[in-house]
Every structure is written in C-alpha cells, then in structure tokens.
Amino acid sequence: MPFDAKNKVAIVGVGQSAFGRKLDRPTGALAVDAALAAIDDAGLTLKDIDGISTFPESTGPGVGPQVGLSSAPLNWMVQGLGIEQVDWWANGGGNISTAIGYAIQALATHSCNYVLVWRAMYQPRSGAFGSGTSSQKPADSAPKPAPRVSGAGAYVAPYGGGDGPTFFAPSYMRYMKKYGAKREHMAAYAVTMRANANKNPKAMFYDKPMTFDDYMNARMISDPLCLFDCDMPIDGAGALILTRAELAKDLKQKPAYVTAFGSGGWDWRVRPPEEYMHATADNVGRTLWASTDMKPTDMDAAMFYDGFSPDIYWWLEGLNFCERGTAYEWIQDGRIAIGGELPINTFGGQVSEGRLHGMGHWVEATRQIQGRADDKPGDGARQLAKAENILVATGMTGHGCGAILSSDFR
C-alpha cells in the first residue's frame, strides 16, 4: 500500500561542504560542515534537532575505516555536533534516499520534529577508486602481490568483474542491443550534464566544457561505459533538514513540500541484467504515482540518480516518462536541458558535479523549488523559470526512494 506523504513533510534546509579530490579535511569534519550549514540554512539551532539519519553507518561505498577521519557515522556525528537529545534515528540501507525516506515517515508519524540527514563521501588516498588492492605494501625490490578477493568476488574478479563499471556495463550493453541504442545517443545526456555543471561553481567539471567528440573519444572503462559515463569520485558531504509541514511555514526558507513518495524494494527474481536494473525504477514509479493524482507531464524537472549514465534510461522508462526501450531517443534535441521539456539533473549530476551517492540530487531539487539554485542570485544560469513540482529519485540495483517536491500544498 502506498505511503501517504502528501502535505505532511517538507525539506527546509540544505547544506554542502567543500568538494574536491582527496581533500586534506577529514570526512567527519566535512559532514559537520554540511550539517551546520543545513541547520543554519533552515534558521534552526542544534537544540532543535531531535532526529538524525544517514547512510551508511559503518561500512559501505564511500566510507573509510577510521571514524571521523574517513567516515561520519551516527554516534560520531551526535558527539561531533554536540546534539543534546535524539528522539529518533535511522541508518538507511542501500542509499541515502532510504535514509531520507525513513525521515519522511518518522516525521509524518510525529516521531520527532526536525531531522538532520547527511551523506559524507570519502575517496581512498591511494590506489584506484573502487579497486581491490593489497593491504600490505611490499618492498620496492619485491614483486607486488596480486589483489586478493574473497567470498562471491572470487567467482567474478578473476574474469574482470567485481566493480561498478563491470557490473553495469552488461546491463547497458543488453539495453543497446535489445532496443537499438548507440553511444551517440548517450552523448546527449553526458554533454548536457557537462553544460549544467559549467553553471555550477561547486561542480568538479565547472570549468571544463565537453563536446560530442570529447565524449565519443573518451577512454573506455568497461565497454560500452566510457570515462564520462561514470560518476566522479570526490570527498565531500551534503545535508538536509526535514520537518513536518505545520512547523515549516515560519522558518527561514520556503518549504519544499513532499507531496508524493515511493520506494523500491529488492526484486529477488532471476532476471537478465537490463531487466534487473529496470526493477528499481518500476517499483519506485509504481508506489510514487499511486500516492498522488499528479502525472509525469506535471513535472517541471527531474533529478535522477546517475551513478552511471544509463541509469537515466531506466528511470525515465520505469517512472513512465516514456515507453520501455525509447528513452535513448526521448532525451535527444535538448529535451532534458535547462529550458527543455524536462530538465534533468540541472546541477550536472554525479557524472559532472561529483559523487555524493544521491544527496546532490535532493539538494538541487530543494534549491530549485525554493528558487535559489543559482549561486549568484539573478544571473539566471541554472534556476528554472518554472519549478513548482520536481521529481527526485535516487538509488538503483534493487533499492531506492523517490518523491515529488512541490512549492505549495497539492
């Protein structure tokens, strides 16, 4: 049964830390920076915060082994921030969207009043991002041992699998062969994201334009995924403040009301890779649209998780913006650009701003609803002319949540 979130909860504050590649500032400090910025943005104080939520709690993507230095778990943040009382807390499984979903439900059931949600990302200081490396550093004269894997990884890593690109590439390849999509079609998304990032001073590719030829000639990572199809690993953190709708009206910022909500659980049926990817978007779409009388054509923009570029195809089709197998054609001719029919990821997405595991999408959707997406007010670079209803959906591979954020009650 769909969760009825209509008019019950709003996002009222957003905050971000510095972003960068292998920053000197500890991950915990970045998380504190983002959290304090979000609390101040909402016009609240630490004493107001009585709910907290994050992902992951201890181990997972973008988390290092040292609490505070390379991670920012719940207990550490309570101490690091000096929060006096916590009435509700949660560790969202799978993706930051789940932590946000838990917060929405906790507020709707009056479990707390003001929830802080954060996501902090850590990039390894040595070795390739996401790669398996030996834990022992051999002497310069000794031969380097081969990377070691255990468990299920032992059945795939020796054959070139075991990381994100090699997991997603077969799904994308099957989509291309099944429906006739080509890399040239995906260039429309990648180039648009880079153009959006060129309007976003926080983006890693802010000062680096990209052309169609740049994309087509990019280094292949795992065929057919090229370098610019993969999200950009960074150090950084983002945070949100959520509260109940009746408490949001008199705060510092215009509320971004949650007027629809959907979630996607695991689908354990054995499926081909491409269909498995579709399952998340299908489930999020099914529950989200059942919770509202709005429809895809009512959306002014969409913020879709893009750990890899082809995620966009699955989101668009699973959330009913276009028919199955047609998204690669649907995104052409400026349709998803700022000023187009459905602007997507107006901040540049994870492929061009940087990888915050979905938090950047929620921050951008909120800012667009509040009319303050531009870092320089009035310059018109990124802020949409109409931003009344924005769909944001993050997660993938069997888990995720989505919501429609609105500028007013619906």
* 406 close to 259: Cβ distance less than 8 angstroms: yes
Q: Where are the alpha helices (DSSP H) in 180-269?
A: 183-197, 212-216, 245-248
| pLDDT tens digit sequence for 28-56 | 999 999 999 999 999 999 999 999 999 87
Looking at the chain, the whole-number percentage of residues with pLDDT higher than 90 is: 67
Superfamily of domain 9-126+233-406: Thiolase/Chalcone synthase (3.40.47.10)
Region for 21 from its dihedrals, namely left if φ exceeds 0, alpha if ψ lies in -120 to 50, beta otherwise: beta
Specify the residue for token string 């504190």. Answer: 32
**Residue in 4, 5, 23 with CA at minimum distance from that of residue 258:** 5
**pLDDT higher than threshold 60 for residue 137:** no
Query: How many CB atoms neighbour CB 227 within 10 A?
Result: 14
Q: Say what the pLDDT of residue 397 is.
A: 74
Q: Does pLDDT of 57 surpass 90?
A: no
pLDDT in tens, 277-318: 888 899 999 999 999 999 999 999 999 999 999 999 999 999
Residue 229 has pLDDT above 90, yes or no: yes
| Res 267: pLDDT | 63
Report the chain's mean pLDDT, rounded to a whole number. Answer: 89
Peptide linkage before 56 cis (omega within 30 of 0): yes
* The pLDDT value given to residue 207: 95
Q: How many whole angstroms separate alpha carbon 201 and alpha carbon 10?
A: 26
Report the percentage of the chain scoring pLDDT > 70: 87
Q: What is the pLDDT of residue 132?
A: 39
- Euclidean distance between CA atoms 359 and 34, whole angstroms: 11
7-21, 72-86, 227-241, 337-351: least confident range = 72-86
> Distance (Å, rounded) from C-alpha 373 to C-alpha 375?
6
CB 350 within 8 A of CB 304: no
Rounded Cα gap, residues 56 and 64, in angstroms: 11
Using a 10 angstrom Cβ sphere, with 0-12 exposed, 13-18 middle and 19 or more buried, the burial of residue 315 is: buried
Residue 95 has what pLDDT? Answer: 79
Cα dihedral value 237, 14, 362, 378, nearest 10: -110
Q: What is the pLDDT of residue 378?
A: 55
Q: Is the pLDDT of residue 91 over 90?
A: no
Of 94-98, 145-149, 272-276, 297-301, highest mean pLDDT = 297-301
The domain limits of the chain are: 9-126+233-406
For 190, residues 6+ apart whose C-beta sits below 8 A from its C-beta are 210, 215, 228, 229, 309, 351
3-state secondary structure of 366: helix
6-24 per-position pLDDT tens digit = 789 999 999 999 999 889 9
* Residue labelled with tokens 């390739």: 128
Model confidence band, residue 166 (pLDDT cutoffs 50, 70, 90): confident
Cβ-proximal residues to 233 (8 Å cutoff; 6+ apart), any chain = 21, 62, 121, 123, 129, 130, 354, 355
pLDDT at 276 over 80: no
- Rounded to 5 degrees, φ, ψ at 38 are -65, -40
Distance (Å, rounded) from C-alpha 63 to C-alpha 84? 26
